[in-house]
Structure 1
Amino acid sequence: MFSINTKGIGDTAVDFKPLWVAPRRYTYSDMLVLVGGRKNNQQTSREALVFDENSQKWQRLAKLPIRLYKASHVALHSVLYVMGGLTTNTKHSQVSKTVYTLSLKTNQWRTVEPMLEPRFAHQSVSYLHFIFVLGGLGPDRHVTDSVERYNSMFNQWETVAAMPEAVLHPAVAATNQRIYMFGGEDAMQNPVRAIQVYHIARNMWCKMENRTVKNVSAPAAVMGDKIYIIGGYTRRVIAYDTKANRFIKCANLKERRMHHSATVLNNTLYVTGGRHINSHDIIEDSDNFECYDAKTDTWTSKRTLPYKVFDHGFLTLTCVSQTWAKA
């Protein structure tokens, strides 16, 4: 501390003693969060879980306010968004356009501006401070090609250019100012062997036919310059090199898998749940929790999930905690 003695009017001494305030300091840690989905093949789940790396256990968060079938899930910075879906705890199921948010800091669910169109079985992806919602089924149960964008800074939605071909259950990822949509199926449930690419700044789509693409109900995740497409009624894992515009074959999954979810944390790809086809060609729900190391091209099993789940959200969410420095 210091003081400055000056002479003011009437030779009155004035002491200036500046108050030193410690700056706010924040700690950031990325965490794995699992939300919603179909639990134990019985009903749509309201559960939300966070994975504690230290204890290697799942901890429960506040439950979703409502049961939603085939909603979409996105992590934007430190907030989890759950959008749309089919309500299942009402007498008459309705297609929703509500957007629920959860922050790990408050562990409370809130709502923000709803989507422009109600939809379910759609895809969503975040990029910068935007969320893009793509396709899905509307109240008429028809496949839609519409796309809308949410600006989290202004809490506003707007319609953007529609996708070239309406598809259900594609693998979707965003990187380098573009959204990549791989495969999926058309309204007649035929696999779509194409890559649809949306240029965010130009608001334009292009479509590229590609025989390598044949995935339905598979997640995609970005690591470095590559987009990994994991399974989708197959054991195959492929990485799309966005710079070289080519596919690279990776180590297969142990079983044919679909309706699972994937995310990236610390350059490791994590995959949870889904449904798999066993050696007797019977579809079973899964509580698998495994990770993929791109450097060694190997899969490693982790502990199982607390329950079997598919069509869920599995995301990397930034947890912000505030600490105060001592003066």
Structure 2
Amino acid sequence: MFSVSSKCIGGPDFKPLWVAPRRYSYHDIMVVVGGRKNSEQTSREALVFDEKSEKWEFLTKLPFVCTKHPIVLYVIGGLTTETKYSQASTSVYTLSLKTNQWRTVEPMLEPRFAHQSVSYLHFIFVLGGLGPDSRLTGSVERYNSMFNQWEAMTPMPEAVLYPAVAATNQRIYVFLEDRMPCRTPSESYRWETMRFIHCVYHIARNMWSKMENRTVKNVSAPAAIVDDKIYIIGGYIRRMIAYDTKANKFIKCANLKERRMHHSATVLNNKIYVAGGRHINGHDVIEDLDNFDCYDPKTDTWTSKGTLPYKLFDHGSLTLTHVSQTWAKS
């Protein structure tokens, strides 16, 4: 659309002034937030990666010190470390790329960390994790970004932490091989039996059902969706598999370059980008990573995209569409 403005100056000689239309350019960028930086330090950093330039830039820092939090356009809950004793948080922050500023929105109904979150339409679902007194929870709550409101949903069949979660076709899929936490007399956790948790949440019916297939054996692994396939990436192992939601079957994919956990993954232009995390080296020693790798589902291959500005784990990542406005030349 355009508009025409005319003005009469000293007679009937009209000179139209053509106003150029606004033009918008769109491109996807990857944002990495928080986590634990360089082995010990809890990070307030927020990074942005532009695929075109293949460069990292720093955004404004988080307004708080927090780790073990997922992000889906928002930073949700997590473990705050600003006080002497770490504690689960209900806080929710959102970042405006236009102003490069963080602001608070309505807090969660329950404090939690080591949970997972996933967005679907204008909703954000928060699942599981550790709540008050570090107790494992299977509670689920949903945030309506249009009305800035939280509501409790049907709890999960099992209490979980760090599950691989993805949403598509009115369903949320949860995949996890987890160790059952049991309390000792000293009230500390010890890890006993293994359990397999694969379930589906039907969003419209607010109902959970269990999946029969128990192929997935990934622990603390993120999930990403490309073309109706849910990719479950690493998790103390090198293996990556994809669950085809239409065919209801698992597909073996190319392995990661190393055993990896507590990393993040997001989809950028139909490719999966995996950032940071921790891995177990050949001497069974856990090391932090600054690796930044890319998986192409079309070729089933991994390529290195360099490194993060620092080693990082327990962070979150997501893809945002950046909109910039320009004016067309007349």
1:37 aligns with 2:41: no
Question: What corresponds to 2:185 in structure 1?
Answer: none
Query: Is contact 1:193–1:212 with CA below 8 Å preserved after alignment?
Result: no
Tell me the TM-score normalized by structure 2.
0.89
Give the conservation status (yes or no) of the 8 Å contact 1:167–1:184: no
Give SS of 1:153's match. Answer: coil
Runs of 4+ in 1 over 6 A off after TM superposition: 18-21
Superimposed CA distance per residue, residues 82-122 of structure 1 (whole angstroms, 9 cap, x where no aligned partner): 01011102223232101011122211011111111111111
Q: What letter matches 1:235 in structure 2? A: R
Distance in 2 of aligned mates of 1:174 and 1:32: 19
Pick from 106, 109, 118 the counterpart of residue 125 of structure 1: 118
Q: Distance in 2 between matches of 1:209 and 1:169?
A: 21
Task: State the superposition RMSD in angstroms.
Answer: 2.2
Residue 305 (1) aligns with residue 308 (2): yes
Query: C-alpha separation between the residues in 2 aligned to 1:20 and 1:159?
Result: 54
Q: Distance in 2 between matches of 1:163 and 1:48?
A: 31
Distance 2:104 2:176 in 1: 32
Secondary structure of the structure 2 residue equivalent to 1:63: coil
Please name the residue that 1:11 is paired with: none
For 1:39 and 1:305, locate their aligned partners in 2 and report how far apart those are by CA, in whole Å: 11
Aligned partner of residue 150 in structure 1, secondary structure: strand
1:2 Cα offset (Å): 8.4
* Residue matched to 1:8: none
Which of 192, 199, 212 is the aligned partner of 2:215?
Answer: 212
Gap regions ≥5 residues in structure 1: 4-17, 75-79
Provide the identity percentage: 77
The normalised TM-score by structure 1 is 0.90
Q: Distance in 2 between matches of 1:2 and 1:205?
A: 60
Q: Deviations over 1:246-270 (max 9, x none)?
A: 1000011111111011011111111
Say if 1:193 and 1:209, in contact at 8 Å, map to a contact too: no
Aligned length: 312
Cα drift, residue 215 of structure 1: 1.4
Q: Secondary structure at the match of 1:140?
A: helix
The 1:272–1:326 alpha-carbon spacing in structure 2 relative to 1, beyond 3 Å, is same
Q: Displacement, 1:280? A: 1.4
The match for 1:107 among 100, 106, 109 is 100
For the pair 1:165 / 2:163, whether they are aligned, the reply is: no
Of the three residues 180, 200, 205, the one matched with 1:202 is 205
Distance 1:224 1:54, change over 3 A: closer
Quote the offset at 1:187 in angstroms: 2.9
Using a 3 Å threshold, how does the CA distance of structure 1 residues 269 and 21 change in structure 2: closer, same or farther?
A: same
Distance in 1, matches of 2:228 and 2:113, equals: 30
Letter of the 2:88 partner, please give it. Answer: V
1:12 corresponds in structure 2 to none
Q: Summarize the alignment of residues 215-234 of structure 1 with structure 2, pairs less than 5 Å apart.
A: 215-234=218-237
Which residue of the other structure, out of 30, 45, 48, is the alignment partner of 2:46?
48
